[in-house]
Amino acid sequence: MRQVRRIFITGASSGIGQALALQLAQDGHILGLAARRHQKLEAVAAKVKEAGGKALIYPLDVCDRQAQFTAVQAFVKEVGGLDVAIANAGFGLTKPILETTSEEAHELFDVNVFGLLNTLQASAPYLQGGVFVGVSSVVAYALPTGYGVYSATKSAVSALMTILRRETEGQFEVVLINPGETQTEFWQVAEKRSGELLPGGSPVPFKTAETVAAAIVKAIYKPQPSVFMSLSEKLLPLLRGAFPGVLERHFKQFDREMKQKKTHKLTSLSHPQA
């Protein structure tokens, strides 16, 4: 039987966060679940209880620094400590850089970067001997067309986590999670904000939220600096650094294929078959 851990998770109302909460609940852990949507948090907490865990909910916006500090302090006071903090909250935008407004860019950085920083700084004082998990993305290394500002936020997360690992050596473990494209609300949110998704799909295969959550659970039990979901994704930083031309050719080819699909789709709509 595993030692019961006290774990605080942001972005816990859906997607990877929800899947993570349910998997951790099966091992009987005590969870602090944070997200903006109160009703969804309550629903996840009920499922956690059914699965054998315990959950306390904290409706908040990760951009609200004081709210995060207050929530973490309340969780620690209630359960007696903090063993793991997981900065999972984030959202995406698939939009050309020149079409991205400053407001959209600010919001992306506020949630994806400063939200994570708020979680980190709120939880760090209680994490001695524990684990801090930050969720980045393979787009930090792949840099695909149409993900410009979103990729920039995840590159920032990867840099923060890498430097944090050196700065906090001997205090707590720092784990960077790098999911590929995942079947979550990311795509509905991105479509709503962007107007349309990348025509034809994504340049990398989709993973389920449960697959990513399982990788995070494994990393909590046996921490490692950086976690990827597949060997091909693990090779992306090496390819980007040592063979940038290979990736550039790949994405240029992908861009051409997507443009052809979009043109074909528009032609079909303009000239439907009888």
Active site residues: 150
Alpha-carbon radius of gyration of the chain: 19
Q: Which of 182, 84, 90 is nearest to 135 (CA)?
A: 90
Q: Which of 82, 92, 58 is nearest to 132 (CA)?
A: 82
CA–CA separation, 252 vs 260, rounded Å? 12
**CB-based contact 77:84 (threshold 8 Å):** no
Task: List Cα–Cα distances, 5 to 10, 42, 102, 152, in angstroms.
Answer: 16, 21, 41, 33
CA–CA separation, 166 vs 174, rounded Å? 9
**CB-based contact 75:32 (threshold 8 Å):** yes
φ/ψ (deg, to 5) at 88: -110, -20
